[in-house]
Amino acid sequence: MKNSLHVLIIGYVWPEPNSSAAGYRMLQLIQCFLKNEWQVSFATPAQPTDHMTNLKSLKVSCHNIQVNDDTFDAFIKEKSADIVVFDRFMMEEQFGWRVEKHSPDSLRVLNTEDLHSLREARHKAVKHNTDFQITDMYSDSGVREIASIHRSDLTLMVSEHETELLQQHFQVPQTHLMHLPFMTSPLSTMQKSTRKQFEDRQHLVWIGNFRHAPNWDAVLQLKQTYWPIIRKKLKENNLNNVELHIYGAYPPPKATQLNNEKEKFLVKGWAEDASEVMQNTRLCVAPIRFGAGIKGKLYDAMLAGTPSITTSIGAEAMNGPFPWNGVITDDAEEFASATVSLYKDKTSWTLMQENGDRIIEERYDINTWEVAFINRLKRQLNLKEALRHSHFTGKMLRHHSMKSTQYMSQWITLKNGLTNKV
């Protein structure tokens, strides 16, 4: 195998690491490839945004591509990538058959961010006030996503819980899955000592992209249910000046209209530096009712040394066997009591901060995960043909479902061509 490989990433959107956990994750993958001196190209049909990261400054080759357009065929042939990474199943669905046809030797890797169908099914259960069942994932989008995972040579999962779910309930072979969480360098003793201390922090914070349904739901939960209870308990403890700050990219008018200075519920909107926001805050509150994957806000809170109060869904797959850096509860009264108790108790607060540091050190060490990731990609490349041959379900789905996707795309391409001639 050659030392320097070429990785082509087909992105769902341009990465925005300061707007979402998905953008943060994508930038980490790109930096990992670059650190190994691999050539990286990034292509997407999405429009540029104000908050997108400057990939060209990282020496990443950037390209605009079109869906349902035969020009991609020449593009993928010319790129001759060793590895093609599809950012979310929709991109594999749209471009996977073209990659297989015109660049068959490329290793096809699916980056899920989170398990979309799990998040969607949990959302539906919350809306209908029912308990989540695994069969709730047997939706159209669920079938599409699981089929995409089976078709791929390797699927990256940030959550151990979702990795196990795919193996146990959807028969995805372990050889085609890799648990790869967020990656970061543990803080040094010097870095920890320079973080703002308990006395230098104030207020509560929530942060999350407003375009992400679980985030908007959590903001409404805070406004309508949690903050009134928390504020009442704060007043009972002579903490009348504590505010709740709501940050997040792309706040719609319905979100900014929730701002109420009298209630100390302040909608701040876009945060230029989420890390600085977290560093200045004493507690992160995240009453997440549905979702999947690793919650970026809670990860950022740990990095900033900020304890968190969250739900079982919020903390899912994040801390493993280690104590949480705060409190996990699905009861609103307990959530409020824990928030106030931790807000005023320096000893408990410091202990929770230390819990967060240990979770980062034990679970997200970049030195461990980067090596494991690069080695796994090299292994998948070496065993590519053997693994494709042994995974009959994937082979079958590439034959049938990708053919239907191909024919639909070709029909749309032809239709668009005819329309343009009229």
Lowest mean pLDDT among 18-22, 215-219, 227-231: 18-22
Once rounded to an integer, what is the mean pLDDT over residues 289-301?
96
DSSP code for 205: E
Distance of CA 290 to the CA centre of its chain: 14
Phi/psi for 269 (5° steps) reads 80, -140
CA dihedral of 349, 351, 356, 361, whole degrees rounded to 10: 150
Once rounded to an integer, what is the mean pLDDT over residues 73-82?
97
pLDDT (tens digit, 9 = 90+) per residue, 148-191? 999 999 999 999 999 999 999 999 999 999 999 999 998 888 88
Q: What pLDDT score was predicted for residue 192?
A: 87
DSSP code for 187: P
Burial class (CB in 10 A: 0-12, 13-18, 19+), 166: buried
68 or 157, which is more confident: 157
Q: Is pLDDT at 240 greater than 60 in this prediction?
A: yes
Once rounded to an integer, what is the mean pLDDT over residues 58-83?
96
Q: What pLDDT score was predicted for residue 41?
A: 98
Once rounded to an integer, what is the mean pLDDT over residues 80-102?
96
Q: What pLDDT score was predicted for residue 199?
A: 97
CB 156 within 8 Å of CB 111: yes
* Residues in CB range of 351: below 8 A, 6 or more apart: none
Q: What pLDDT score was predicted for residue 399?
A: 77
Q: What pLDDT score was predicted for residue 422?
A: 46
CA dihedral of 289, 201, 238, 271, whole degrees rounded to 10: -50
φ/ψ bin of 129: left (φ > 0), alpha (ψ from -120 to 50), beta (otherwise): left
DSSP code for 241: T
* CATH code of the domain occupying 189-363: 3.40.50.2000
- Paired with 107 in beta bridges are 83
- Amino acid, res. 266: L
Fold match flag (6-183+366-421 vs 189-363): yes
Q: Is pLDDT at 405 greater than 90 in this prediction?
A: no
Lowest mean pLDDT among 36-50, 188-202, 259-273: 188-202
CB 314 within 8 Å of CB 295: yes
Q: Is pLDDT at 417 greater than 80 in this prediction?
A: no
**What CA–CA distance (Å, rounded) separates 96 from 405?**
9
Once rounded to an integer, what is the mean pLDDT over residues 86-115?
96
The sign of the dihedral angle between the CA atoms of 205, 222, 119, 213 is negative
pLDDT (tens digit, 9 = 90+) per residue, 296-350? 999 999 999 999 999 999 999 999 999 999 999 999 999 999 999 999 999 999 9
Report pTM.
0.93
Q: Is pLDDT at 87 greater than 50 in this prediction?
A: yes
Task: Break the chain into its structural domains and give their ranges.
Answer: 6-183+366-421, 189-363
- Amino acid, res. 406: Q
CB 306 within 8 Å of CB 196: no
Which pLDDT band holds residue 127 (cuts at 50, 70, 90)?
very high
Q: Is pLDDT at 421 greater than 90 in this prediction?
A: no
Phi/psi for 61 (5° steps) reads -75, 125
Which pLDDT band holds residue 415 (cuts at 50, 70, 90)?
low
Q: What pLDDT score was predicted for residue 301?
A: 97
Which pLDDT band holds residue 412 (cuts at 50, 70, 90)?
low
Q: Supply the mean pLDDT for the chain.
A: 94
What ranges in 316-391 are assigned the alpha helix state H? 332-344, 346-363, 366-382, 384-390
Q: What pLDDT score was predicted for residue 420?
A: 57
Once rounded to an integer, what is the mean pLDDT over residues 289-299?
96
Q: Choose the CATH number for 6-183+366-421 among 3.40.190.10, 3.30.413.10, 3.40.50.970, 3.40.50.2000.
A: 3.40.50.2000
Q: What pLDDT score was predicted for residue 239?
A: 98
Q: What pLDDT score was predicted for residue 414?
A: 62
Coil, helix or strand at residue 328: strand
Structure tokens at 55: 């990939």
What burial letters (b/e) apply to 100-135, b meaning 16+ CB within 10 Å? bebbeebbbbbbbbbbbbbbbbbbebbeeeeebeee
**What CA–CA distance (Å, rounded) separates 52 from 247?**
18
Q: Is pLDDT at 234 greater than 80 in this prediction?
A: yes
Supply the DSSP string of 117-181, one letter for each residue. HHHHHHHHHHHTT----GGGG-SHHHHHHHHHHHHSSEEEES-HHHHHHHHHHH---GGGEEE--
* Residues in CB range of 342: below 8 A, 6 or more apart: 283, 307, 309, 326, 327, 348, 349, 352
Q: What pLDDT score was predicted for residue 135?
A: 96
